[in-house]
């Protein structure tokens, strides 16, 4: 196992990691999902949304949600994966995502969207737009939350959303825009999820967006094992490091930490269709 950051002080109220990759984190850091979930619970991160980005990840997400009460799943084909798949392979993958999306432990269709950073050719962009539109339709048909990956494609993401019809619940994963883009997303009813980059010194545009975002529309996430917050930027991320981001959000907003944590927890339940755990269930949308 690589050297992991120490556990932070526990939060005063439970929060939810609204976007995590427990499987990838285990491969990168050696922190197995059981221990990752346990460490998170020890510091007040009591629930996790496990996101699958390809077929293997989607199957893992469903299996994780079946195994651990703290976990619910999101399933999709990531835009970069969609752009790289063979023409006859992608429809088969999407058919399997549609089947998995109807599982009762799946709360989200995502992450899906557009990525103009890693996919730069127009043919790839067309495939991404078509796949994104398909995932939007699936979210609408199943009543699942749409989780959007948006990298260097702000205007195009909104264009596709508007053309296809905005689902009832939309989460902007690892929100990366400025205040104007935040306003445009909020106008469409989205929740904005702030990850480790909001703590990075150069990213004042993210903090401007955060200050504009109503408290009841803010989520937080790790995207573990990526995007580790300050003071451990560059090291492997995990759900137990959410307290660093939560404390930063509270300080930036000049709000009481307990108030912010309570909002983050409730917002996650609102964004992903209600509470989950041993005491709760969910039916298909």
Token pair for residue 191?
């929740």
Judged by DSSP in three states, 267 sits in: helix
Looking at the DSSP bridge assignments, the partners of residue 49 are 72
Looking at the DSSP bridge assignments, the partners of residue 146 are 109, 170
Token pair for residue 277?
């755990």
Q: Does residue 249 fall inside a structural domain?
A: yes
Q: What is the pLDDT of residue 279?
A: 54
pLDDT tens digits, one per residue of 262-282: 999 999 999 999 999 875 544
Looking at the DSSP bridge assignments, the partners of residue 193 are 219
Q: What is the pLDDT of residue 284?
A: 38
Q: CA nearest 181: which of 158, 207, 214, 149?
A: 158
Q: Does residue 225 fall inside a structural domain?
A: yes
Q: Is 242's pLDDT higher than 80?
A: yes
Q: Does residue 69 fall inside a structural domain?
A: yes
CA 64 to chain centre: 16
Q: CA-CA distance, 229 to 226, in Å (whole number)?
A: 9
Q: CA-CA distance, 5 to 177, in Å (whole number)?
A: 28
Radius of gyration over every alpha carbon of the chain, rounded to an integer in angstroms: 17
CA-angle at 131, arms to 146 and 67, nearest 5°: 50
State the average pLDDT over residues 36-42.
98
Dihedral of the CA atoms 170, 176, 177, 181 (nearest 10)? 0
Looking at the DSSP bridge assignments, the partners of residue 75 are 52, 109
Q: Is 44's pLDDT higher than 60?
A: yes
High-pLDDT (> 90) share of the chain, %: 95
Q: CA-CA distance, 179 to 25, in Å (whole number)?
A: 31
Q: CA-CA distance, 168 to 164, in Å (whole number)?
A: 12
Instruction: Tell me the residue range of the domain where 120 lies.
Output: 15-271
Q: CA-CA distance, 79 to 82, in Å (whole number)?
A: 5
Q: Does residue 281 fall inside a structural domain?
A: no
Whether this prediction's pTM lies above 0.75 is answered by: yes
pLDDT tens digits, one per residue of 190-229: 999 999 999 999 999 999 999 999 999 999 999 999 999 9
Render 164-183 in DSSP notation, one character per residue: H---S-EEETT----HHHHH
Q: Is 38's pLDDT higher than 90?
A: yes
Q: Does residue 283 fall inside a structural domain?
A: no
Tally of domains in the chain: 1
Q: Does residue 6 fall inside a structural domain?
A: no
Helix (H) / strand (E) containing 247 = helix 242-253
Looking at the DSSP bridge assignments, the partners of residue 52 are 75
Q: What is the pLDDT of residue 277?
A: 87
The CATH number given to whatever domain includes residue 46 is 3.20.20.140
């Amino acid at each position: 196992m690589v050297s992991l950051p120490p556990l932070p002080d526990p939060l005063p109220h439970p929060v939810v990691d609204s976007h995590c990759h427990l499987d990838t984190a285990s491969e990168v850091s050696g922190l197995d999902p059981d221990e990752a979930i346990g460490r998170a619970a020890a510091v007040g991160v009591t629930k996790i949304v496990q996101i699958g980005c390809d077929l293997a990840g989607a199957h893992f997400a469903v299996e994780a949600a079946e195994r651990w009460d703290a976990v619910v799943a999101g399933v999709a084909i990531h835009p970069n994966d969609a752009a790289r798949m063979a023409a006859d392979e992608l429809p088969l993958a999407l058919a399997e995502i549609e089947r998995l999306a109807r599982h009762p432990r799946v709360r989200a269709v995502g992450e899906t969207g557009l990525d103009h950073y890693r996919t730069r050719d127009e043919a790839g962009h067309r495939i991404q737009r078509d796949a994104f539109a398909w995932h939007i339709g699936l979210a609408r048909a199943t009543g699942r939350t749409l989780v959007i990956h948006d990298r260097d494609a702000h205007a195009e993401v909104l264009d596709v959303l508007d053309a296809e019809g905005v689902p009832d619940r939309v989460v902007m994963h690892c929100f990366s825009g400025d205040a104007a883009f935040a306003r445009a997303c909020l106008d469409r009813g989205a929740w904005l999820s702030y990850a480790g980059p909001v703590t990075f010194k150069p990213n004042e545009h993210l903090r401007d967006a955060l200050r504009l975002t109503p408290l009841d529309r803010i989520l937080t996430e790790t995207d573990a094992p990526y995007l580790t917050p300050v003071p451990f930027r560059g090291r492997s991320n995990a759900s137990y490091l959410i307290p660093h981001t939560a404390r930063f959000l509270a300080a930036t907003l000049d709000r009481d930490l307990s108030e912010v944590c309570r909002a983050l927890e409730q917002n996650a339940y609102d964004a992903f269709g209600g509470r989950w755990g041993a005491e709760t269930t969910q039916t298909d949308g």
